Structure 1
Amino acid sequence: MKASTFFIGLVAGSVAAAVTVLYSTPQSGNELRKTVRNASADMKSKFSDVKGCVDDLKDSISHLSSEAKEAIPAAIDGLKGSVEKWQHATEPNKERMEKEIVAIQKALEELEQSLVAQQKS
């Protein structure tokens, strides 16, 4: 839902509620005009406050967006650097483990051959 649609609905609802309340109470013409004037001034004040809050929210979102545009690429670069360092640090272990796996495979093959030779004899 768009914010403008929400605020239009809010204003329309507030005006309808104010008019309903004003006309449903038994008052004289002067009292009704005073009440309408006071309600109008109060509504203007409230709408001014809402507008100020919306402007503050827009500024906050804009500020957050600009900070995110700066911070996210830096964080991504930092993560990439950390991953690269980790890969370089683990490379010797990877090579050593590959050599050990090859040695284990050779030992298993030799063991299988010796078992087959023992079974034949």
Structure 2
Amino acid sequence: MKTSTFLLGLTTGAIGGMVAVLLSTPQSGKEFRSSLQTTKEDLQNRLADIKGSIENIKNEAQQTIPKVIEESKESFASWQAETAPIQENLQQEIASLQSSVEEIEKHLAEFQNRKNQKNNE
């Protein structure tokens, strides 16, 4: 479909809709204009309130977010400092367990060799 045809149809439909609304409105022209003006002012006031609320939220976020980030960094640093000795202890325990496993594997291999030698005799 061509863009110009679409725009022509859209414009024609919009104009037809406006004419239908104006002709079928239960109010006189003066009352309708007054009603539209009141609605417009109400919407403008609501929009201004929303803009003000958004600005307040934005300002609060600009103040709060850096504090939260800083507190999170401090909390993480504190957690790291608290867990560092535990982490070192765990690494030592793991190293000890690994050497124990290696020793057990060595003894198991020796046992298997002795068992095989006895079976061969």
1:120 corresponds to which letter in structure 2?
N
Q: Which runs of 5+ in 2 are unaligned?
A: 1-13, 115-121
Question: Percent identity, aligned pairs only?
Answer: 30
Question: C-alpha separation between the residues in 2 aligned to 1:120 and 1:112?
Answer: 12
Q: Evaluate the alpha carbon distance shift between residue 119 and residue 38 of structure 1 in structure 2; reply closer, same or farther with a 3 A threshold.
A: same
Per the alignment, residue 38 of structure 1 pairs with 31
Distance 1:116 1:77 in 2: 56
TM-score under structure 2 normalisation? Answer: 0.73
| Structure 2 residue 66 is matched with structure 1 residue 107 | no
Q: CA 1:21 to 1:90, structure 2 compared with 1: closer, same or farther past 3 Å?
A: same
Q: 1:116 Cα deviation (Å)?
A: 1.6
1:45-94 residue CA offsets vs partner (Å, 9 max, x unmatched): 11011100001111111111111111111111111111111111111110
2:30 aligned with 1:23: no
Asked whether 1:93 is paired with 2:82, we answer no
Q: How many residues align?
A: 99
Gap change, CA 1:21 and 1:110, over 3 Å in 2:
closer
Query: Which has the larger Rg?
Result: 2
Partner of residue 70, structure 2: 77
Larger RCO (CA within 8 A; separation ≥ 6): 1
Matched residue of 1:72: which SS?
Answer: helix
> How far off is 1:23 after superposition?
2.5
TM-score by length of 1: 0.73
Which residues of structure 1 form unaligned runs of 5+? Answer: 1-12, 26-31
Runs of 4+ residues over 6 Å off in structure 1: none
RMSD value, Cα: 2.1
Aligned-pair CA distance for 1:120: 2.4
Change (3 A) 1:38 1:113: same
1:24 Cα offset (Å): 4.3
